[in-house]
């Protein structure tokens, strides 16, 4: 007897686009657009943030963590579902939202690295209908990278994931942690070491974890001290250096723009062109001809 075919996921509830095809670490970001319906969700060891993108408010019923919400969910409204928390939702209109899942082990890692002292594992408080401008801003930046389909930098995604983790710990931990303060910037020797490392690896994918590990410190600690020393985030500095190298190669060589893009760590001609134009106000071709 032929075995029954395995059940197929309902196409109506598949994401429009997902970071799971783009190799992001510690965080899963998915954009959904769904007709009226209902869903039971349990993402196990992931904390989940929902950000409404719906152009019109959607009436819904939501149940999670012993809380029930009935009412409208409008663009910019946010729900936070901690790990191991079942979540039920029924919505009456077309819904459009961003779902961000961040691994509990990553949250705990950030907590260990940023707290003044070791503590028990931290849990988050379930929230259903809140406004949080910082989460909304981070979510929209992640959505922008998601829609570009891996044309962004892993360093940028890592940085956003760390900022989101710290914000969740500060605002939604069941017990408010005391986060460490970082002042003074990087010592000159370490700063020169990391700048040399970035310069030598511009053509490769650089992750925040790579830079932090190179200096033997946490990602959050490194990011704060680097920005204090240089005045920009590690990602912004990396992008500036890649554009500077592209400018040199455009003027000093006859290599194609595609070749230059790859030599400078960009994924494609269009990726280089977009970032180059943002930094210089002109396209690589126009700069070469100038």
Residue 260 and residue 124 share a domain: no
Q: Does the residue 183 lie in any domain?
A: no
For the entire predicted model, the pTM comes to 0.80
Task: Give me the pLDDT at residue 92, please.
Answer: 92
Residue 86 and residue 42 share a domain: yes
Q: For the domain that residue 284 is a member of, what is the CATH number? A: 1.10.10.60
Range of the domain at 285: 236-289
Residue 21 and residue 100 share a domain: yes
Residue 101 and residue 54 share a domain: yes
Residue 147 and residue 111 share a domain: yes
Query: What is the rounded distance in angstroms from the CA atom of residue 232 to the CA atom of residue 224?
Result: 10
Average pLDDT value for residue range 46-72? 92
Task: Give me the pLDDT at residue 182, please.
Answer: 66
Residue 225 and residue 128 share a domain: no
| pLDDT band (50, 70, 90) for residue 246 | very high
Q: Which uninterrupted H or E stretch holds 130?
A: strand 127-130
Taking a C-beta distance cutoff of 8 angstroms, is the pair 138, 93 a contact? no
Taking a C-beta distance cutoff of 8 angstroms, is the pair 242, 206 a contact? no
| pLDDT band (50, 70, 90) for residue 211 | very high
pLDDT at 149 over 80: no
Average pLDDT value for residue range 267-288? 88
Token pair recorded at residue 70: 């009935």
Taking a C-beta distance cutoff of 8 angstroms, is the pair 30, 18 a contact? yes
Q: Does the residue 211 lie in any domain?
A: yes
* Number of domains observed in the structure of the chain: 3
pLDDT at 125 over 60: yes
Query: What is the rounded distance in angstroms from the CA atom of residue 256 to the CA atom of residue 246?
Result: 11
Mean model confidence pLDDT for the chain = 86
Token pair recorded at residue 66: 């012993």
| Residue 7 exposed, middle or buried by CB count within 10 Å (0-12, 13-18, 19+) | exposed
Task: Give me the pLDDT at residue 76, please.
Answer: 94
Q: Show Cβ contacts of residue 234 under 8 Å, excluding neighbours closer than 6 positions.
A: 155, 159, 198, 208, 211, 222, 223, 226, 227
Q: Does the residue 256 lie in any domain?
A: yes
Residue 279 and residue 156 share a domain: no
Tell me the per-residue pLDDT of 154-191, one tens digit each, with 9 for 90 and over: 888 999 999 999 999 989 988 776 666 666 788 888 99
Alpha helix segments (H runs only) across 173-233: 188-200, 208-214, 219-230
Residue at token pair 């940028």: 156
Out of 134-143, 167-176, 249-258, pick the least confident: 167-176
Alpha helix segments (H runs only) across 6-120: 104-114
Task: Give me the pLDDT at residue 119, please.
Answer: 57
Tell me the per-residue pLDDT of 16-45, one tens digit each, with 9 for 90 and over: 889 988 888 899 999 999 999 999 988 889
Token pair recorded at residue 187: 């010592």
Query: What is the rounded distance in angstroms from the CA atom of residue 264 to the CA atom of residue 202?
Result: 6
């Amino acid at each position: 007897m032929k075995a029954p075919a395995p059940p197929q996921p309902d196409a109506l509830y598949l994401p429009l686009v997902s970071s799971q095809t783009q190799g992001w670490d510690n965080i899963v970001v998915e954009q959904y657009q769904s007709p009226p319906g209902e869903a039971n969700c349990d993402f196990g060891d992931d904390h989940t943030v929902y950000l409404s993108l719906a152009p019109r408010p959607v009436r819904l019923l939501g149940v999670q963590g012993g809380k029930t919400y009935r009412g409208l969910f409008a663009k910019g409204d946010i729900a936070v579902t901690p790990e191991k928390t079942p979540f039920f939702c029924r919505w009456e209109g077309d819904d459009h939202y961003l779902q961000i899942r961040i691994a509990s082990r990553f949250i705990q890692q950030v907590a260990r690295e940023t707290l003044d002292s070791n503590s028990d594992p931290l849990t988050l408080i379930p929230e259903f209908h809140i406004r949080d401008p910082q989460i909304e801003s981070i979510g929209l930046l992640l959505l922008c990278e998601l829609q570009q389909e891996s044309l962004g930098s892993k360093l940028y995604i890592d940085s956003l994931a760390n900022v989101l983790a710290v914000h969740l710990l500060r605002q939604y931990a069941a017990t408010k942690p005391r986060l460490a303060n970082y002042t003074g910037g990087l010592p000159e020797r370490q700063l020169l070491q990391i700048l040399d490392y970035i310069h030598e690896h511009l053509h490769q994918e650089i992750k925040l974890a790579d830079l932090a590990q190179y200096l033997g410190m946490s990602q959050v600690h490194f990011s704060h001290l680097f920005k204090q020393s240089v005045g920009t985030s590690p990602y912004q500095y990396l992008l500036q250096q890649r554009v500077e190298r592209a400018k040199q190669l455009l003027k000093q060589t006859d290599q194609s723009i595609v070749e230059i893009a790859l030599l400078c760590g960009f994924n494609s001609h269009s990726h280089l062109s977009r970032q180059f134009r943002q930094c210089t106000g002109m396209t690589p071709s126009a700069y070469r001809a100038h």
